[in-house]
Chains A and B, each alone.
Chain A
Amino acid sequence: MNALEISNLKKTYKTGFLRKETVAAVNDLSFNVRKGEIYGFLGPNGSGKTTTLMSVMGFITPTSGKILVLGDSPGSSKSRERIGFLPDNPVLYPYLSGYNALYVVGRMFLLSHSEINKRIGALADELGMDRELRLPVAKHSRGMRQRIGFAQALINDPELLIMDEPMNGLDPMGRKMFRDVIMKRREKGKTVFFSSHILSDIEMICDRICVIRDGGIIYENTMKGISESRPGETLEDIFMSMMGSGK
């Protein structure tokens, strides 16, 4: 079973003042994320990762191609009940305290008052949040905002977790915490799909990765497959050699 199916996804943007020129941000992209796996989505800056995630979430309409999220079309309320999403640079109700912001999110899932409090408490322990909950989100540091971002993505205990650059702004402890959070979700049978540049973390937690470049897949393999076919090489070596070739 696949948690996410993307086939022949294409997205072109019109640019320029008169919207005459077009750029293809994603071009004929196809891959699947299986249920229960941690899937890493790699690629250099501007390769189309965010564009792909925005299409998966239904925030933008693809020019062509097909996407199925948990068997549903992107952006359907039904699938959103079971998804957690962390955007790049998350901001959430900047004038509310972290606690109140998360509380409102909990209410979007129609959770009860006591259930929301229970979940916020559990997430505060897991993510190491304390001041985050009391300060208004606008006054948070980058890493604090990222933690609130995780919490809002996890509050509905999602089956599928979709994240854009989740390690952004986190210190080494934060990144360790993040890896633990992800591994724990996999033990519970959840699916995780995220984009990142931080290859060492990807290496540690992912089951499978793909690399995109100029909007198309140039490599896909399981981590096991990678270590068998290219023993002794780190993901960084492989990534660099891939980017080096063809330049």
Chain B
Amino acid sequence: MIRRAFWVSAATIAELLKDRTIAGVFFVGVAMIFGGYVVAEMAVVERMKMFVDTGVGAVFVAGVFITLMAGSNLLGREIRDKEILCTLSKPLPRPVWVVGKTIGLLVAVAVLIFSLATVLLIYLKFQTNVWKPEIFLACFFIYLEMVILCNYIVLFSCVTTQYLSVFSGILILLAGGMADDLKIYWDSASPLAQGMSRLLYYALPNLGAYSPGPVLSGSVSVPANLLFAMVFSAAMYVIVAVTLSALVIRKKELA
């Protein structure tokens, strides 16, 4: 079964990297990184910071778009276009298919994000003559955030339509970034606000924790155990979401 999952992933990666829309977003990302030049020229101080901020911002925006598009289409397109009738008529159990597809998506997103990060690193070196490998750590944080988002969208796309799952993905992204702010209401006087904020806090992914800002400013060094906790919780998201998606797909009527 591992071999079959491997080949499903391989086909998924090949298909995603050949997808024109995704390639388009990737090149928009590259253009935005180069566009950092304009922003930096306009800046009076901290030219370097401008470069880095627009660049990492570009990686984030491109990452979000790619995740939303590829994630919402990952299982949905195959089901909609009846490709699945060919794929699953082989000795390939549905859960293995879901696992293979999801791993393929996560690898493809990693390839795209780290390619953009590399472009940024080299461009920065070229423009400012500064070697700033922290960019990779920052992009790794962005990647982890995308991993969590991917899982939500793939899961949503199993139960709703493509557009609804993109829409929910955007909501998760916005709300998840503000999850920490919910803590303010934890000790609120109203029991309703208290209960709601606690419920939401635990239901939403705390995407704010994956913000790349502190790493880039160089003021904070990331302790190893924090890094481990972040990777661990992202991995947990993958396992839970893949399990739930597999359960949904297992029972799904495919015609």
Q: What is the interface size of chain A, counting residues whose CB is below 8 A from a CB of the partner?
A: 36
Digit string of B1-12 for contact with A (CB within 8 Å is 1, else 0)?
001100110110
Instruction: Write out the residue numbers on chain A whose beta carbons fall within 8 Å of the beta carbon of B254.
Output: 54, 59-60
Contacting chain B: which of A36-44, A103-111, A171-179, A198-206? A103-111
In this complex, what residue of B is CB-closest to A136? B18
Which residues 1-44 of B have a CB within 8 angstroms of A?
3-4, 7-8, 10-11, 14-15, 18-19
The answer for the CA separation of A68 and B90 in the assembled complex, in Å, is: 17
What is the 8 Å Cβ interface bit string for chain B, positions 71-96, against chain A (1 contact, 0 not)? Answer: 00000000001110111111111000
Chain B residues whose C-beta falls within 8 Å of the C-beta of A104 in the assembled complex? 7-8, 10-11
With A50-B255, A54-B254 known as contacts, the answer to whether A89 contacts B7 (CB < 8 A) is no
Contact A54 B7 (CB under 8 A): no
> In chain A, what residue has the closest Cβ to B87?
A92
Q: Does B46 contact A (CB under 8 A)?
A: no
A93 to B15, CA, bound (A): 7
Asked if B255 contacts A105 (CB within 8 A), the reply is no
Tell me how far the C-beta of A91 lies from the nearest C-beta in chain B, rounded to whole angstroms. 5
Interface locus among A1-9, A27-35, A76-84, A238-246 = A76-84
Contact partner of A94 (CB less than 8 A), chosen from B83, B89, B255, is B83
A105 to B10, CA, bound (A): 12
Say if the beta carbon of A219 comes within 8 Å of chain B.
no
> Does A61 count as interface, using CB distance less than 8 angstroms?
yes
Q: Which of A60, A92, A94 contacts B253 (CB 8 A)?
A: A60
Q: Is A191 an interface position by the 8 A CB rule?
A: no
Interface residues of B, count at CB 8 A: 25
- On whether the beta carbons of B85 and A105 are closer than 8 Å, the reply is no
A57-B10 CB under 8 A given contacts A95-B15, A108-B4: no
Q: Report chain A residues within 8 Å CB of B15.
A: 93-96
Contact of A54 among B8, B18, B86, B255 (CB under 8 A): B255
Known: A59-B255, A95-B15, A108-B7. A80 touches B83 (CB 8 A): no
A95 near B14 with CB under 8 A, answer yes
Q: Which residues from chain A sit less than 8 Å from chain B, CB to CB?
A: 50-51, 54, 57, 59-61, 77-78, 80-81, 83-85, 87, 89-96, 100-101, 104-105, 107-110, 136, 149, 152-153, 156
Interface residues of B (CB under 8 A from A): 3-4, 7-8, 10-11, 14-15, 18-19, 81-83, 85-93, 253-255
Supply 8 further A-B pairs (C-beta < 8 A) apart from A77-B92, A136-B18.
A57-B89, A77-B93, A80-B90, A91-B83, A93-B83, A100-B14, A104-B11, A108-B4
What are 8 pairs between A and B in contact, CB < 8 Å?
A: A85-B89, A89-B82, A94-B83, A95-B19, A96-B14, A104-B8, A104-B11, A108-B4
